[in-house]
Amino acid sequence: MNSRRFGIESFYCRPGIEGAHEKGGVEGMIGYFRRNHFVAVPEVSSLAELNEMVEQWDRQDDARRIGSRPKTVAEYFALEQPLLLPLPEEPFETGRVFTPRVDRYGQIPVRTNRYSVPIRLIGKRVRVVLHASHLVVYDQNVEVARHERLIAKGAVRLDLDHYLEVLVRKPGAFPGSTALEQARSAGRFTPVHDAWWDQARRIHGERDGTRALIEVLLLGRHLPHEHVVAGLAAALRAGAMTADAVALEARKAAQAEIEPTPSADQLVSGKPSATVTSLHEWRLAHLPPDTRPLPSVTPYDQLLRRRRTSGGDHREGEAQ
């Protein structure tokens, strides 16, 4: 099936010693790659990390010369590439397909494990494509979830984003949720989130502060995660514990990556960019000038002189 898809014409090599040279160059390179890069076995945390390492080794191998040949591997490939057929536009699907039903907890069973999907899909059947290192969930033809594949049996993988619509109505369930615990372990819920959340609960109360944090997490559906974290940090420094302030700072962080950095002359002549600041600090900075004279204690000195005079007259009357 692969040969038909990629337009490959298969043929048999000559058997025996006469055809021994026909495949040695291909299979020999596999042994070369294994001996030079997989001895000792590399230690990685995931299959994706290993694939990135293999791609890096491939790029490094482009500069290698085979034996005494005058050109490098990359130079020979540049000569051969125009003679190759183009790849099909659609990638070849190698995953295994399942069609589980979403249970009342917003989870689907795949093999011996469970994975979360958006809560709106409860009761519906979805299509799951299971690969060696990850799985993708589709609602009809729309991708709705993507998870790293679980290796252990009976495990659960939850995405906090899938439950935000429910948690914003029931914020009391947020602090002890398994999805939050897994988000912390994965590094998606950072110490900046915790610091902003603590301050928001201190100002708005437990329920409203948690709801404000969930509204901030919903921003992650429209803005990159790193920009939301930058917005949280900026809003925390300014004491702005609202989702709107975080959204403003997150969009500014995104805009800063797109726009070029202004030069020193532009910074001197141009207007400074607006930042979220404390309302109390803003009011103090915009108070009108105080033109009143400095206070004086002279009137009080006059009162003291009067008191001495009246006190002296009273004592003289007693002596008489």
- pLDDT over 70 (residue 265): no
pLDDT for 320 equals: 44
pLDDT for 314 equals: 52
- pLDDT over 70 (residue 264): no
For residue range 110-123, list pLDDT tens digits in order: 999 999 999 999 99
Cα–Cα distances in angstroms (integers) from residue 296 to residues 48, 148, 225, 292, 301, in the given order: 76, 75, 59, 12, 10
Contacts (Cβ under 8 Å, ≥6 apart) of 146: 134, 135, 136, 137
- pLDDT over 80 (residue 311): no
Mean predicted lDDT score pLDDT of the chain = 85
pLDDT for 94 equals: 85
Tokens of 314: 């009273």
- pLDDT over 80 (residue 309): no
Which of the residue ranges 47-56, 229-238, 288-297 would you say has the lowest mean pLDDT?
A: 288-297
For residue range 38-70, list pLDDT tens digits in order: 988 889 887 788 889 999 999 999 999 988 889
pLDDT for 282 equals: 73
Which residues does residue 128 pair with via DSSP β-bridges, in sequence order? 98, 137
- pLDDT over 80 (residue 310): no
For residue range 148-196, list pLDDT tens digits in order: 999 889 999 999 999 999 999 999 999 999 999 999 999 999 999 999 9
Q: What percent of the chain has pLDDT over 70?
A: 84
Summarize the confidence of residues 260-264 as an average pLDDT: 58
Q: Where are the beta strands (DSSP E) in the chain?
A: 96-98, 107-110, 113-116, 127-130, 134-139, 142-148, 156-157
pLDDT for 230 equals: 93
Nearest residue to 208 via CA among 241, 236, 185, 231: 241
279 vs 30 pLDDT, higher one: 30
Would you place residue 268 in the very low, low, confident or very high pLDDT band (cuts 50, 70, 90)?
low
281 vs 246 pLDDT, higher one: 246
pLDDT for 319 equals: 46
Contact present, 63 and 72 (Cβ < 8 Å): yes
Torsion angle (degrees, nearest 10) of CA 72, 73, 79, 82:
-160
pLDDT for 125 equals: 96
pLDDT for 9 equals: 75
- pLDDT over 80 (residue 244): yes
279 vs 115 pLDDT, higher one: 115
